[in-house]
Amino acid sequence: MSTERYLRQVRFAPIGREGQERLGRARVLVLGLGALGSVSAELLARSGVGHLTLVDRDFLEESNLGRQTLYSPEDVREGLPKAIAAERRLRAVNPEIELEGRATDFNARNALELVSAADLVVDGLDNFEGRYLLNDACLEARVPWLHGACVGAYGVALDVLPADGPCLRCFFETPPPPELSPTCETAGIIAPAAHLVASLQAAEALKLLTGHAEALSRKLVSFDLWEGWHREIDASPRARRADCPACGAGRRDFLRGRRESTAAALCGRDAVQVLPAAEGGVDLPALAARLGPATGAEVNPHLLRFSAEGIAFTVFRDGRAILRGLTDPARGRSLYARYVGG
């Protein structure tokens, strides 16, 4: 551990040298590397968290650059998945730590594997189903996680400690209907809101990882930077609901896959993600050769892009695909089977 690199942080009495050493041994999973996760990941990398696993299913687009400060126009031009671009950038930021970028979907197949390997999970997800799955997996593995979300100028943050407090479903028992849920695509977002939520998450992460759970917020915090209000709701152990379906009744509705589909519309993206029926991945160069030049197929080590029937396909090495230009999951599955394979 570089003494000079973390000197100012070590001089902060609640962390000190012992806390810094604990950070160096910590393993953190960052799920989602958009506006929230990319900022949280950078703050934790610069703080000296020893091992960061970076998971995101998406690839970079120019519209990301206004608020996702980890990335550059060159990353967009290269067509990089966010997880790969984030790993590359953070290696340059802090070569002392271990980084693992995984361009994959977080789903019921891999949730427990990913969560169980971490000391803490930071939520940078962009959809409710993923957060409820994360809640289930962390309860099952008894791993703490830091919830965060933002849209427009609004943000919310919550610490979830499975052994000592309420879970996400104690406050929000079921996901809201899609038609009542604004997205960054429909309502927009300003960078300061995302960065504030990420900063709250990173600060709570430092408290937990350095052994200062007594300093945690223990509140569900929400704010609107444009309207200028801030609210807090008790999230201490007494806020835990005995009738909560997840931490009270012990149900794992999302983890058990009863709420997961093989194709789903992406929040506010005019796109559908399709998961392959079986694991094993795709040989991208071979698929590009099979598709032929008529589709305009372009392949790099991480993904394959092509167009067919007015739909823009992005196929990842793990077999996932994002189909842009439609919102019907059934049609997405059909097109996937037609062009990528059954």
Calculate helix-pair angle for 35-47, 82-93, nearest 10 degrees: 30
> CA 92, 97, 98 angle in degrees (round to 5)?
100
> CA 215, 217, 223 angle in degrees (round to 5)?
150
Hey, how many other C-beta atoms are within 10 angstroms of the C-beta on 312?
15
Q: Which residue has the tokens 């999302």?
A: 254
Q: Which of 63, 111, 234 is nearest to 165 (CA)?
A: 234
Question: Residue 288: enclosing H or E segment and its boundaries?
Answer: helix 284-291
> CA 176, 111, 102 angle in degrees (round to 5)?
105
d(CA 130, CA 123): 9
Which two tokens mark 183? 């997205």
The letter for the amino acid at 317 is R
Q: How many helices (DSSP H) and strands (DSSP E) are in the chain?
A: 12, 14
The letter for the amino acid at 32 is G
Q: Which residues are the active-site residues? A: 184
